[in-house]
Chain A
Amino acid sequence: MAMRLSVGGLRQLNKACVRVAVMEKGVTAVGRGMWKYTSRDLHTTTATPSYSKLPRLQHTISESYEQVEVSTAEWPYVERLLPYTTIPKPSSNPGEVTPSGWVAPSAQPGDYPYFVPRAASHMMPVYVEHEPILNRFVTRVKHVEGDIFALGEELQEHLTRLFPSKYIILRVHEPHQVIHIKGQFVGAVKEFLFKKGF
């Protein structure tokens, strides 16, 4: 409607809308502002009985629930969703390189005077620790068994050859079975140990 929306115009519009909206079944407009309710109720009636008439203390179990069948055929579907309790052993040949880049160990105790077993996660136990000071990094080779000093010497030689400009500071800590190297040499050390077959 092309009507100027003045206050009076809005009031008229409202009244018209209200009048239209209230026109429900069972309600007839009688005059202006007067409504008359017919015998038919405004709320709808349903077939459900009232609360007091519901059956009390009467439980009826349908026949389908009386016989319970025990079945363990579906257990594998449950089992495969359960998390692992132990880290599973990877099934691969010694020395195999998997598509992810993981290298299976191939060295046996006795090949070298020292031995570096994998951690429980089957990864090489070479870690780098960064103290919250700019350049303070320490590379650690852990779980070294056997003659740890021999491995320390070999690592010193190897890293000095790879990084001739750096002065390799290396410490062998026998009671803790660990070698500390000052700096970040994780990649180089891991590669060295992978080549040995650990």
Chain B
Amino acid sequence: MAQRAVWLISHEPGTPVCGTVKFSRRYPTVEKRARVFNGTSYMPIPEDGPFLRALLFELRLSDDDKDFVERRDSCSHINKTSVYGLPVGGGELWPVVAFLKNGMIYASVPLVEQTLSPRPPLISISGISQGFELLFGVQDFLYLGQKNDAELNTKLSQLPDLLLQTCPFGTLLDTNLQNSLDNTNFASVTQPQKQPAWKAGTYKGKPQISISITEKVKSMQYDKRDVADMWQVIGAVTCKCDLEGIMPSVTISLSLPTNGSPLQDILVHPCVTSLDSAILTSSSIDAMADSAFSGPYKFPFTPPLESFNLCYYTSQVPVPPILGFYQMQEEEVQLKITVNLKLHESVKNNFEFCEAHIPFYNRGPVTHVEYKVSFGQLEVFREKSLLVWTIGQKFPKSMEITLSGTVTFEAKNHEKQTFDQICIGGTAYVKLHFKILDYTLTGCYADQHSVQVFASGKPKISTHRKLISSDYYIWNSKAPAPVAYRSLLL
């Protein structure tokens, strides 16, 4: 369950080594156990320098991938999880849990309590999931609410102390590092009643509860006879409960209007104490499953101090909010494009913003555009080979808008232009970006009156809703497009 060592490495492409170790921590008592457990297959933790080089190479993050290198490029060198074996000091260091996020590489080496040869399956090593959680915890601490580099550096400098609190001997005690930071600032709690370990102290002040539902909608639209369009709603319910007492109890109910789409794939925060089995079994993966349950979805819990995600869900709404098609064809030296978008009548026609981005990959900079829009404005980013169609706050009465035009390009410059692996040849897309406030696509809402609170004082309850687009693609119907298996079923 323990970790032998943890690293934070910033990825710096273009520099000689391509990275710097920003933080590292070793656990010698765990290392002592590793030596015994691993026996002859034991491989000591290398120093930071060799580890950095080996990891960057394995993750393909060192700049040098010009030549075929068997150790990295061989077809049988297949990694299917974020757990790696690194060649160091004539042997192999395994398992190394590692991933890259926001230019930072998070890595740890979990203790394996047996011999490493043959390698035991990852599923049987408790330290793997613990390692991931530790790294996710560090990532959350560094990036949640972080605005600039100075802030990041401050947080990096706090890490050694925080890990001394949350992971003193390599066995993780809490993933919420912010919690322990607050812990040191909180006055000690001496109440006889049991205090949850995930709650640093108690709140003092005016009781209030804030609930916000954010739905993201993603879509893949093809406008093809043999390929089905796909769309999905992903919801997240975020809560902040400022309530007095050690263990205040709250129940939040999510409700749907009569024609609302049922919530599926519900994942709850660990502070939720119990769950209706209908909520647990409502799932999108079993298309045959009867998902007649349409709420209300009750979540009883004891809130932590900080803002937290009470639950995540997905939902399959009957139609995508904006249905469109995109036709792009190469005509001699220019591209001829047509984009059509139609807002569904059931959707609230009041956007905070709505834009369609039309990128052109693997081509040179845009030299000339001739276009006609039925609504909104078109902006041309020549160097980026990008058109942005700003639709604004409202679709017109007809709910349908069109863009057509021709685009010409300069010759491609390999050095400057970024390479895209998807948009090869005629394969191209329009990506929609929009946001609608005080609205959810599923209709899901948290009724203020249904919130039950067992704590002193009547809290003020506020609720918020919004819908935003995420990975909302409309593919060129005149060329092949990447499809998921489900799209082919119809």
Check if A and B associate.
Answer: no
| Interfacial residues, chain B to chain A (CB-CB below 8 A) | none
